[in-house]
Chains A and B, each alone.
Chain A
């Protein structure tokens, strides 16, 4: 599976780039997250720390299937005003 991963801010530093093509074995978001844990030691620990989008839609169900070329974005949650 090949997806485009986009990140911002401190997450960008974590991955070393703002946008990177990720190739991994698997079909769904949880497989991608397992790969990110193994390859980058990244854990989407809680929703407070990061939100995940697939093709512009917020994703909380990590069993969601991915397709080749999908855009996955991981961004921090900001709430102060």
Chain B
């Protein structure tokens, strides 16, 4: 099957010139669609076969200079969970789809309300009252139909979190309460899955990458019993720009982890103050790992 796909792709690939002036072999979206339909393979599998043969789907050409064909291939094979499809989650879904993550598991129990319009990129006036995960599905399909999407409209709890994220290569926290974040961190630790934490309030945001065994959010809040439900966002709100900025940092952390790149924001909580143009980190002790 894969050899057939590659033969078809070799025959249909054309020569293109990159901005650097280098030539490369590429395939257009139309070729991916046609080969997928003819071979009965998913568009994702067609793109994977192409990349394995050194043929670049044009949609990823501007990624290749930074992550290479091997990197793009790794992203195409990855399954990533985004928990929460609101401010952070909506932008994350947009970015990860464009980056070419292979499969996105999107979890959110909620529907859109009017006060989501200021910041939640998946929310339009027509979406008020509609499911967030269904909006995510429509957006992913419209951006990148070669991304497999698994949408779950459920409340994350201790009873279902393990089953939800099992099999993922990475989990991204786009939640809005601290106790559920702690639940997700515990599950990710049990299942040995890295977790990218993000949270916002006002013009402030924070990011931390937590590998299995890291104390992560426990260093901030303890085991969960004393953790507050909410933070200062109840006073300062969640203005438009903050989730976009923090989701971009989280998406970059996801790329770093999936590709094994240097320098994830680990053992420190990175704060971004958009109003004051300040980036600062608070060290998180990692000595007593679990």
12 more contacts with CB within 8 A, not counting A58-B218, A80-B199, are A9-B273, A18-B278, A46-B228, A48-B228, A48-B234, A51-B220, A56-B219, A71-B283, A79-B177, A80-B200, A80-B201, A81-B199
Q: Is A12 an interface residue (CB 8 A)?
A: yes
CB distance from A38 to the nearest CB of B (A): 24
Binding site for A on B (CB under 8 A): 84, 86-89, 173-178, 181, 198-201, 204-206, 218-222, 226, 228-234, 238, 243, 267, 269, 271, 273, 276, 278, 280, 282-286
- Cβ contact within 8 Å between B230 and A75: no
Q: Is A47 an interface residue (CB 8 A)?
A: yes
Which residues of chain B have C-beta atoms less than 8 A from A12's C-beta?
Answer: 276, 278
Q: Is A8 an interface residue (CB 8 A)?
A: yes
Which residues of chain B have C-beta atoms less than 8 A from A6's C-beta?
Answer: 280, 282
- Cβ contact within 8 Å between A56 and B283: yes
45-77 of chain A: CB within 8 A of chain B: 46-49, 51, 53, 55-58, 60, 71, 73, 75-77
Query: What are 22 of the A-B contact pairs (CB < 8 Å)?
Result: A9-B204, A12-B278, A47-B228, A48-B234, A51-B220, A53-B284, A56-B219, A56-B283, A57-B285, A58-B221, A60-B222, A77-B178, A78-B206, A79-B199, A79-B231, A80-B176, A80-B233, A81-B87, A81-B88, A81-B174, A81-B175, A81-B243
CB distance from A71 to the nearest CB of B (A): 7
- Cβ contact within 8 Å between B84 and A81: yes
Q: Given A80-B176, A80-B231, does the pair A53, B204 have CB atoms closer than 8 Å?
A: no
Which residues of chain A have C-beta atoms less than 8 A from B234's C-beta?
Answer: 48
Which residues of chain B have C-beta atoms less than 8 A from A47's C-beta?
Answer: 226, 228
CB distance from A53 to the nearest CB of B (A): 6
CB distance from A58 to the nearest CB of B (A): 5
Q: Given A8-B278, A9-B273, A60-B222, does the pair A78, B204 have CB atoms closer than 8 Å?
A: yes
Nearest 8 interchain pairs by C-beta: A56-B285, A77-B231, A79-B231, A80-B233, A81-B176, A78-B201, A78-B199, A56-B283
Which residues of chain B have C-beta atoms less than 8 A from A76's C-beta?
Answer: 201, 204, 231-232
User: In whole angstroms, how far apart are the Cα atoms of A78 and B152 in the complex?
Assistant: 26
Closest A residue by C-beta to B273: A9
Closest B residue by C-beta to A9: B273
Closest A residue by C-beta to B280: A8
Which residues of chain A have C-beta atoms less than 8 A from B181's C-beta?
Answer: 79
User: In whole angstroms, how far apart are the Cα atoms of A23 and B220 in the complex?
Assistant: 25
User: In whole angstroms, how far apart are the Cα atoms of A12 and B276 in the complex?
Assistant: 10
- Cβ contact within 8 Å between A53 and B233: no
CB distance from A33 to the nearest CB of B (A): 18
Which residues of chain B have C-beta atoms less than 8 A from A18's C-beta?
Answer: 278, 280
